[in-house]
Amino acid sequence: MAQAIEAHDLVKTYAGDVKALNELSFSVQQGTVFGLLGPNGAGKSTTVKILTTLSRADSGSATVAGFDVASQAEMVRRNIGVVQQGTTVDREATGRENMRLQGQVYGLRGRGLENRISELLDRFALTDAADRIARGYSGGMERRLHVAMALINQPSVLFLDEPTTGLDPEVRADMWTEISRLANDQGLTILLTTHYLEEADNLASQLAIVDRGRVVAEGTPEGLKADLRGDAIHVELAQAEGNGHVTGALAELGGIREVAVDGRTLHARADDGARAVPVVLQALESRGIDVASVSVARPSLDDVYLRYTGRTFDKAEAEAGEKSR
């Protein structure tokens, strides 16, 4: 079984003709960390709900850990762990009680269960807080408890739905460390959804960019960025110049593409940004154009998103925010 998750043409329409998924397909290799990246409302959570058997697709099919999510839901459930958006721990119970109930419903009991609980609490640095009511936990502790609960049945596929949304930056960094450690677990496949570009970039070995219920691009973060071919060069001019004058200066240079001038800012793309900078500066100087500053940036996932969807990630997020209001 090489594929831990396979989704084929998933379609889901909510009441009021809201199309959440529009023939969404992707597959996840066993033992990898797969990121579903997209703005809020792109369909990531709906995908997770279908793959974890909580919800059903209108059409299309999917398998998780080799079992069909519709016809073999019971087997899927036994083989997955899920950390849903927000946290779903019982705040009126202690950490240990939460863990125990979660273990019990998977059929674990007695000494074996208690040992597993202690081991997981220890692993997620919750031993000291284990017998305190979860209501008093910090956001980070609650999230760690949730991950520990999701691992109680030793799942082969772990779903993390927006695992760091709502966490402070430093707590988020801790969570990233935890997730990276999980990724080293033997054979564990992780499906991570996120609307943080850096998070996908940092954690996922494979990535699918989701937009309006479809996968618009799939690959490794590096591969997706490499597909954009080249670094972005931004030149800040000392004063506004005629656009033709500036572009003309760079027209004959080899390896400099996509030259665009916007007021005093010049954008261009080159295969090797660092090498292109002196050439660009020389060409501008020879035409008497003064330069205030230069910067070179590796292509970011934001650039990737822009290329495949035609809008920047921030703009898509803002649109989603307006829609949900």
**SS3 at position 13:** strand
CB nearer other proteins, residue 124 or residue 313: 124
Q: Pattern 116-155, binding to other proteins, x per CB under 8 A?
A: -----------------x----------------------
* Residue that has been written with the tokens 């721990």 in this structure: 89
Least separation in angstroms between residue 17's CB and other proteins is: 14
Burial 229-245 (b: 16+ CB within 10 A, else e): ebbbbebebeeebeeee
Q: Is 107 in the site for other proteins (CB under 8 A)?
A: yes
Hey, which bits of 109-220 come out as E strands?
Answer: 157-161, 189-194, 206-211, 214-219
3-class SS of residue 19: strand
Closer by beta carbon to other proteins, 150 or else 235: 150
Nearest to 153 by CA among 49, 59, 79, 235: 79
Site for other proteins in 42-81 (CB under 8 A): 49, 52-56, 74, 77-78, 80
Q: Is 92 in the site for other proteins (CB under 8 A)?
A: yes
In the complex, what is the shortest distance from the CB of residue 126 to other proteins, in angstroms, rounded to a whole number? Answer: 18
CB of residue 104 vs other proteins: minimum separation in angstroms? 5
Dist. CA 69–CA 61, nearest whole Å: 8
Alpha-carbon Rg for the chain in angstroms? 24
Question: Cα separation of 96 and 132, whole Å?
Answer: 8
Question: Between 169-183 and 139-150, two packed helices, what is the crossing angle to 10 degrees?
Answer: 20
Return the number of the residue (78 or 264) whose C-beta is nearest other proteins. Answer: 78
Which of 11, 70, 93, 253 is in the footprint of other proteins by CB under 8 A? 93
Give yes or no for residue 23 binding other proteins (CB under 8 A): no
Residue 91 CB, nearest distance to other proteins (Å)?
7
In whole angstroms, give the CA distance from residue 97 to residue 85.
21
Give the interface with other proteins as residue ranges (CB under 8 A).
14-15, 49, 52-56, 74, 77-78, 80, 82, 84-88, 90-93, 97, 101-102, 104-107, 133
